[in-house]
Amino acid sequence: MELQENSLIVQQGKIKSKFACQDAQEYPQFPEVTGDTFTLSTQDLEIMQSKIMFCASADQTRPVLTSLLMKFSADQLEVVATDGFRLAQIFFKDKNFSVEKELLVPVKAMAELSRIAKQQNAENFSIIVSEELKQLLFQVANVKMYVRLIEGEYPPYNKIIPPDFQIEVNFDTEEFTQELKRAQIFARDASNIVRLEISKDSLLIRSFSASYGEYQGEIPLKNVHENTGKIAFNIHYLLDYLSGVSTESLSFFMNESLKPAEFRESSLSDYLYVVMPFRVND
C-alpha cells in the first residue's frame, strides 16, 4: 500500500488497484464541545433501548417525534418517546445531577450509542451538552460520538397519559405474548388489528382474516373484578412492547374503547406504556 499524491496504490502480487483520494487536511475538524456534563450507566442505556426507543417515529417530516425527550432534574432522569400512536415513559431515579436540562436526542444516535457501548463493554458513558453548537458529545470508553440536537417543542405528552382508569386487570406475560403471536397470523389481512375482550375473570384475544377465518384465544386473569370492556389495537404495537418486557406478569388499564390504554410491568413502577386503540366494527 502506497500513497502517491492524491492516489492510494494497493498492490498484492500481480493485482494492483488505484484509489482516488483527497487531502486529509480537508476533512472537517471535530468541534470543541464544552458544557454541562451528565454521566449515566450503560445499563440505563440498555433499558432505554429495550423499553423506550421503539416508540419513536421514523417519519423524518416530524423530526421532533424521531427523538428521545431526556429531562434531567436534580435527582432523576425522565425519558420519553412517542410516534403519536403510542408512548413510553421511564424514570431513572436516585441520580445526582448538578443542573436541570431538557434534550431532544435523535433516537438513531441513541441506538448507535447503545451498540458502541456493548462493543466497548463499558459501565458508564458521559453526555456533554453544547448549548452554543446545539450539539452533544457522547463519550463511552475511548470512543467519542458527536450528535446534533433536534430543535423544536415536544408534544404535551402528559395530556395523553390518563390520570385514572375504570378497568385494571393482571395476567401472565408469556401467556399473553403467545396468544398474540397466534392471533397475528389471522390479523395480517385485517390491518393487523387484534381485539381484547375483558370479562370478570378472563381476557379474550380475537382476530379475523378474510382468507383464514377467525382466531380466538383466552387467558385467565390474576385478579377478579366486576367491570368488563372491549378494545382493539394494532397488534404490532403490543408485540413491540412485549419484546422488552422482563416481568412475569403485566397490568393492563383501560377506560372506554376509544380512549388511550396503558400497560405496566408488575415490578417496574417507574415505567409505563400508553397505546392508542383503533375503532372497529364488531
User: 134: domain range?
Assistant: 36-159
Give the pLDDT of residue 77. 98
The torsion of the CA quartet 162, 167, 172, 175, rounded to 10 degrees, works out to -100
Whole-prediction pTM: 0.90
Judgement on whether residues 216 and 129 belong to the same structural domain of the protein: no
Q: Identify the CATH number of the domain in which residue 94 sits.
A: 3.10.150.10
Does 16 reside within a domain? no
Give the pLDDT of residue 282. 66
Judgement on whether residues 193 and 91 belong to the same structural domain of the protein: no
Residue in the structure block whose three cell numbers are 423544536? 152
Give the pLDDT of residue 177. 98
Does 184 reside within a domain? yes
273 and 79 in contact (C-beta within 8 Å)?
A: no
Judgement on whether residues 144 and 209 belong to the same structural domain of the protein: no
Judgement on whether residues 128 and 225 belong to the same structural domain of the protein: no
Which candidate, 100, 25, 9, 90, places its Cα nearest to that of 53? 90
The stretches in the chain having pLDDT less than 50 are: none
Does 93 reside within a domain? yes
47 and 79 in contact (C-beta within 8 Å)?
A: no
Q: Of 159, 182, 204, which closes a domain?
A: 159
Judgement on whether residues 196 and 178 belong to the same structural domain of the protein: yes
Judgement on whether residues 181 and 138 belong to the same structural domain of the protein: no
Judgement on whether residues 260 and 205 belong to the same structural domain of the protein: yes
Q: How many domains are there within the chain? A: 2
